[in-house]
């Protein structure tokens, strides 16, 4: 797609049909009908915990032993087996070899738990055994281990079950957060004075990521770039809005479903399949098409942004939670809350500045990254913990890393620095939790959220209750461990406007 100096969404969309109107219940009903003969759960390998921000009332795991999957597969929420289970792999913080090993371990253990669950339920016939689908959830701005992760999942599934993947469906779109795909090109929507404008994602700061940078916004070319030519751009199947919206606004959604499945028929040998998505209706149309393709026998894996799972399982968009709902079933403590900010993208820094400006009673504790990378790190951490604990007795605490991002040209060294910083954040959170538990914890940034959840708060099993802002920012309820009963807010670094962090904090705080 040729780009002009300025792109406006309305102009780009004018070349395509109107969206097909599809209620979530249509997708859910189709899934329920298929599950009567063969129940299925999507296992979502989430490379950081922010993928849960688009869903509600689903289990999330930060450990992936067979017993953890058994808990998730048998857990009932509102009397129902979950349609999806999230597994917090945190692989975006790992090097490629570590990421591959973790993906393989998760898939093998999930398949083993599914087999045990089927056997214990007396499901001896192949058609009634618990089936798993696998989703590799990654960043809506295209950062992450691609194609390594879907490649590893496909190879592991083939090794364990013999099922060979025909296609890998790539859906990075996240309309709630302003990321849409049109004509096979992935865009970021403008905000404020730039509302209505589209910027190709390769022209944003995210494409310059030290570890996962990229040069192409056209997804077929992105696939070729990241696969180093193994999948040439011309081999990628592109489901444009002409296909996704084939039924028209008042047409039968099955028309679009058939068009999508027909387009996927040629997929074989993990063929990449990219999909245009602009609205929730587009996600639901795609879900019906993918279900039809799988009914025909296609074996598919998914590499997606956050809202794909919600659309794929036919879940309604959950309204944002109130402060009261965030504490439902638990008694909030009188301590202050802990807001942990690790992300360095521009929007996070602006959100932090807005929070500090508005929340005058909050105490600020800064983690100086240069001190961490130098000597005397342990005594420095002792001092940080003392400051946080003392402050929590009377105020919310904003714990943030210094805003000067130390970068190198070496991707491995960049990851090492990030791990050092994250380890310090985790140590402060964990020691604080065990000394004087906070009223709530907000973690800003993907890797930050992951490490704070799994190690800082020692969460093993949790339930995703829903979003704290419309379509973004996830509330987890820890169901075990030392953080049980403390609301944990997963806040991606690259979502929301400048006021979003302050808005979420205001809902949860008793001093703001």
Q: Whole-angstrom Cα distance, residue 66 to residue 117?
A: 11
DSSP lists the bridge partners of residue 278 as: none
**3 state DSSP class of 15:** coil
Bridge partners, 172 (sequence order): none
How many other C-beta atoms are found inside a 10 Å radius of the C-beta of residue 258?
17
Q: Which of 76, 3, 503, 31 is nearest to 310 (CA)?
A: 31
pLDDT score of 414 more than 80:
no
C-alpha span between 212 and 434 (Å, rounded): 35
pLDDT in tens, 419-462: 788 888 999 999 999 999 999 999 998 888 888 999 999 999 99
pLDDT of residue 125: 47
Cα–Cα distance for residue pair 209/194, rounded to 1 Å: 23
Contact 396, 505 (CB under 8 A): yes
Omega of the bond prior to 147 within 30 degrees of 0, cis?
yes
Band (412; pLDDT cuts 50, 70, 90): confident
3-state secondary structure 23-73: CHHHHHHHHHHHHCCCCEEEEEEECCHHHHHHCCCEEEECCCCHHHHHHHH
Quick one: pLDDT at residue 232? 98
The residue assigned the tokens 């395509």 is 16
Residue 343 pLDDT > 90: no
Q: What CATH code is assigned to 7-312?
A: 3.40.50.10840
Beta 58-61 vs 461-469: how paired, if at all? antiparallel
Q: How many CA atoms lie within 13 A of 299 on its CB side?
A: 17
φ/ψ of 250, rounded to 5, equals -115, 15
For 323-508, CATH number out of 3.30.9.10, 3.40.980.20, 2.40.110.10, 3.40.50.10800 equals 3.40.980.20
Under the banding of pLDDT at 50, 70 and 90, the label for residue 123 is very low
pTM of the complete model: 0.91
> What's the whole-number average pLDDT of the chain?
92
Task: Say what percent of the chain tops pLDDT 70.
Answer: 96
Does 12 have pLDDT greater than 90?
A: yes
3-state secondary structure of 275: strand
pLDDT for 35 equals 83
Per-residue pLDDT band for 5 (boundaries 50, 70, 90) equals low
Say which residue, 99 or 123, is predicted with more confidence: 99
Check whether 83 has a pLDDT greater than 90.
yes
Q: How far is CA 259 from CA 144, 240, 293, 339, in A?
A: 30, 11, 10, 47
Distances 474 to 22, 50, 234, 302, 512 between C-alpha atoms, Å: 25, 7, 37, 21, 20
SS3 assignment, position 300? strand
Q: Are 311 and 287 in contact (CB under 8 A)?
A: yes
The residue length of the chain stands at 512
110-114, 327-331, 416-420, 486-490: segment of lowest average pLDDT: 416-420
Domain segments of the chain as ranges: 7-312, 323-508
pLDDT in tens, 64-81: 999 999 999 999 998 999
Between 257 and 410, residue with greater pLDDT: 257
The residue-averaged pLDDT of 192-208 equals 94
Residues 363 and 331: beta-carbon distance below 8 Å = no
């Amino acid at each position: 797609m040729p780009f002009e100096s300025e792109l406006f969404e309305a102009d780009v969309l004018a070349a395509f049909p109107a969206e097909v109107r599809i209620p979530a219940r249509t997708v859910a009903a189709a899934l329920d009908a298929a599950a009567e003969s063969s129940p299925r759960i999507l296992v979502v390998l989430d490379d950081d915990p922010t993928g849960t921000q688009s869903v509600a009332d689903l289990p999330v795991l930060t450990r992936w032993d067979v017993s953890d999957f058994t808990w998730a597969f048998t857990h009932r929420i509102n009397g129902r087996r979950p349609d999806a289970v999230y597994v917090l792999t945190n692989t975006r913080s790992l090097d490629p070899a570590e990421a591959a090993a973790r993906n393989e371990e998760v898939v093998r253990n999930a398949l083993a738990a599914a087999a045990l669950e089927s056997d214990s339920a007396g499901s001896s016939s192949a058609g009634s055994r618990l089936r798993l689908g696998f989703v590799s959830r990654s960043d809506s701005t295209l950062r992450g281990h691609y194609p390594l992760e879907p490649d590893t999942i496909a190879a592991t599934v083939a090794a364990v079950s013999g099922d060979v993947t025909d296609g890998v469906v790539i859906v990075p779109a996240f309309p709630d957060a302003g990321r849409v795909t049109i004509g096979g090109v992935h865009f970021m929507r403008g905000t404020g004075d730039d509302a209505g404008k589209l910027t190709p994602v390769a022209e944003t700061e995210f494409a310059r990521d030290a570890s996962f940078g990229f040069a192409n916004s056209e997804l077929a070319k992105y696939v070729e770039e990241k696969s180093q030519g193994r999948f040439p751009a011309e081999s990628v199947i592109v489901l444009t809005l002409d296909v996704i919206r084939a039924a028209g606004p008042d047409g039968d959604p099955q028309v679009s479903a058939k068009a999508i499945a027909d387009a996927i028929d040629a997929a074989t040998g993990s063929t990449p399949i990219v999909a245009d998505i602009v609205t929730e209706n587009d996600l639901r149309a795609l879900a019906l098409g993918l279900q039809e393709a799988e009914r025909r026998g296609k074996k598919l894996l998914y590499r997606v942004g956050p809202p794909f799972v919600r659309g794929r399982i036919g879940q309604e968009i959950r309204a944002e939670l109130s402060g009261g709902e965030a504490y439902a079933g638990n008694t909030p403590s009188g301590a202050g809350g802990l807001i942990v900010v690790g992300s360095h993208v521009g929007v996070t820094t602006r959100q932090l500045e807005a929070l500090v400006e508005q929340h005058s009673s909050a105490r600020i504790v800064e983690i100086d990254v240069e001190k961490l990378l130098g000597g005397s790190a342990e005594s420095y951490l002792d001092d940080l913990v003392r400051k946080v604990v003392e402050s929590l007795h009377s105020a919310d605490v904003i714990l943030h890393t210094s805003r000067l991002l130390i970068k190198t040209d070496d991707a491995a060294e960049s990851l090492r620095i990030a791990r050092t910083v994250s380890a310090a954040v985790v140590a402060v959170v964990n020691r604080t939790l065990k000394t004087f538990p906070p009223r709530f914890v907000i973690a800003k940034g993907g890797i930050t959220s992951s490490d704070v959840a799994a190690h800082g708060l020692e969460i093993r099993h949790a339930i995703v209750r829903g979003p704290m802002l419309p379509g973004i920012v996830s509330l987890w309820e820890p169901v075990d461990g030392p953080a049980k009963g403390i609301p944990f807010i997963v806040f991606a670094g690259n979502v929301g406007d400048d006021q979003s962090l302050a808005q979420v904090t205001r809902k949860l705080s008793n001093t703001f």
